[in-house]
Amino acid sequence: MRRCCQGAGLPCLFKGVGMAGARQPRFLLVFDFDETIVDENSDDSVLRGRALPEPLRHSPAGGSYNEHMQRVLGYLGEQGVRPADFRAVYENIPLSPGMAELFQFLSKHQELLELVLISDANVFGIEAKLRAAGVRSLFRKIFSNPAGVDRRGFLTLGPYHGHRCPRCPPNMCKGKILGEYLQERAREDVEFQRVLYVGDGANDFCPAGTLTAADVAFPRKGYPMHRLIQERQEKQPGAFQAAVVPWESATEVARYLQELLRRKC
């Protein structure tokens, strides 16, 4: 079950958590990365100040942005830009407003909140930033496009997976990733009372649309995810089931979570 235990007519599982064999309910907290955890698009960050030839200055209309970035990284590698140079940029991308405070709060409640990250950026950059911020250990799993160093010493990028979702870019459907993760955890006998999703982009609207009435979507205020949710609510009242809590500072997310944990269920 992912609904509140008391709401389902059962005793709250938070009671007696110190007893042998007692099992605490868990909340799954899902984060995006670009313009959510960090306050910039990380691809823009690593390209800032670097000259690109005209064919690489803009991703082709209707083409795969992931494939475009593969070509961009290959070109930069040929110009002598090495993974260490990219890592230094990723490490210094600023966190979004209030995000450091939110992570401080989450570090105190790791027994109740399981964190995962789903991002269309890349694993190399995400790992670099999370480690630099001292928060990598908070995340149980990171789902992002694979990135590594080839035998030339170039940073390379690949697609995460294939899928059939018409709303998402061809290299990644976050809704599919979230659904498969919930299934995987259920097979491991871990089921969440609520899924809490923090994001900003249009590609976060797909997984947010799979949330239930027990869940919460935290769209960054004024960003595409927020606008798409508002449009869905206006055109199809009731079609978007999750509670919606827009945020400008991640401290607003922390306050909501604090109240959720205080209520226990």
- Known binding-site positions for substrate: 43, 120
Instruction: State which amino acid sits at residue 227.
Output: R
Binding residues for Mg(2+): 32, 34, 200
The DSSP result for 67-104, as a single string, is: HHHHHHHHHHHHTT--HHHHHHHHHTSPBPTTHHHHHH
Is 34 an active-site residue?
A: yes
Binding residues: 32, 34, 43, 120, 200
Instruction: State which amino acid sits at residue 94.
Output: P
Instruction: State which amino acid sits at residue 160.
Output: Y
Give dist(CA 13, CA 260) in Å, integer.
15
Name the nearest CA neighbour of 31 among 228, 187, 230, 181.
Answer: 181
Question: Which of 34, 44, 85, 204 is labelled catalytic?
Answer: 34
Name the nearest CA neighbour of 220 among 197, 195, 251, 198.
Answer: 198
Are the CB atoms for 225 and 219 separated by under 8 Å? Answer: yes
- Is 130 in a helix, a strand, or coil? helix
Give dist(CA 156, CA 71) in Å, integer.
9
Give Cβ neighbours of residue 123 (< 8 Å, ≥ 6 apart).
142, 144, 145, 146, 147
Question: Which of 32, 85, 150, 215 is labelled catalytic?
Answer: 32
Dihedral, CA of residue 189, residue 23, residue 143 and residue 99, to nearest 10: 160
Name the nearest CA neighbour of 72 among 60, 88, 89.
Answer: 60
Is 189 an active-site residue?
A: no
**Catalytic positions, please?**
32, 34
